[in-house]
Amino acid sequence: MERWTGSFTAGDAHVFSDPILYWCSTSPVLPPETAFEVYSAYENSEIQQYLEEPQDESHLPDLLGIVSSPTSDHDMTIQTYEHVPLEIEKEREWRWGAMSYTALLEQDEAPATTALGSERGGNEEEDEEKEEMREAAGSTRPMPCRRRRTPVPTAALREEGSCSSSSDLLAYMPKSGSGPRQPRQKRHWWPMPDHFRDFCSSSKSKKPEHRKNNDEWEPEEVKLLVDGISNLGVGQWTKLKSKWFSPQKKKKNKCFSASDQGRPVRTAVHLKDKWRNLVKAYVSKPTSKKKGKNAHLDKDLINKIKLLAVEHPYPK
DNA sequence: ATTAGGG
DNA sequence: CCCTAAT
């Protein structure tokens, strides 16, 4: 999954993802029924206002950053995260919200074949998803409509919508107008991307590009850390960071080279924490399973850690 | 601004 | 990794 900063086209739909919206696709190729997942950083009150008095689809762009009206000839579902003050919502500051509406093309067919670079790791879910898409395309495709149907902004707020249990979100949403509620296929929604959560939780953060590093420590990084500690000892994390973990220090040190710029940022606290964890993993609790995760540290490095740990025990 | 520790 | 008391 990658952050999408421009706009992509699905029929006539343009969706913004930057900086407020985040978008991810459910399929590398737009199916007849185009589903979006949109993360919205708009205040809850704004969304609520929209939901209470839905006017016409021209409001949706304002709310979700869609520049022009989506004109998929099938339902378009937009799922958002809405902001809920912590006083109201115990823990989560963001919760699921969803709205869907139907817009029909004026033309007969929508040449929606834009390829969307889904970075989602392939798995059974994806195939399942595609299967559902095909089903939807074959059985529920409505006839093309001359005139744009009155947009139907229906919305549903999900009280306890955890990310993983929201697959029935579509079925949950009320259908507009009258008539029997049409059964809708389930859809897999992905959990909120870390990027977006970070953006939300620290919108007041210093640097806009201050991305968080959830990446695991690479063995090379650990090597760097160990080398640093062997020289500086334990406790001088800031010095260690500036000397070994500063990308732009053109010193001849073993600092990151230009090709390593993409590395996650390690702060002094990170270095400290990592060392503590290393000691815990390889010294304090040697019996712990170092196989599970990314313990691709070679014995040489591990031995070095053990020696340093004796020399500089972290929790003293 | 930094660090040590607990969460 | 985050948060924070303590320095």
- Note whether A17 and A138 are same-domain residues: yes
Cα–Cα distances in Å, from A113 out to A31, A34, A63, A226?
8, 11, 26, 51
Higher pLDDT: A245 or A235? It is A235
A60 neighbors A47 (Cβ within 8 angstroms) = no
Candidate ranges A46-55, A103-112, A259-268, A279-288; pick with highest mean pLDDT:
A279-288
- Note whether A177 and A272 are same-domain residues: no
What does residue A271 show for φ and ψ, rounded to 5 degrees? -60, -45
What CATH number corresponds to the domain at position A228? Answer: 1.10.246.220
| Strand C atom within 7 Å of A270 CB | yes
pLDDT-derived band at A243, boundaries 50, 70, 90: confident
Question: CA of A151 and C1' of C3: distance in angstroms?
Answer: 47
The closest nt to A264, taking CA to C1', is C1
Residue ending a domain, among A139, A174, A201, is: A201
Is A271 a residue whose pLDDT tops 90? Answer: yes
Question: CA of A173 and C1' of C5: distance in angstroms?
Answer: 48
Give the DSSP H/E element, type plus range, for residue A100: strand A94-102
A70 neighbors A110 (Cβ within 8 angstroms) = no
How far is residue A313 CA from its own chain's centroid?
Answer: 38
Residue A103 lies in a domain: yes
Residue A207 lies in a domain: no
- Note whether A162 and A239 are same-domain residues: no
- Note whether A45 and A127 are same-domain residues: yes
Q: What is the pLDDT of residue A294?
A: 56
Strand C-contacting residues in A 158-217, CB cut-off 7 angstroms: 212-215, 217
Q: Which nucleotides of B are covered by protein (CB under 7 A)?
A: 1-7
Structural domain span for residue A195: 7-201
- Token pair listed for A144: 């093309």
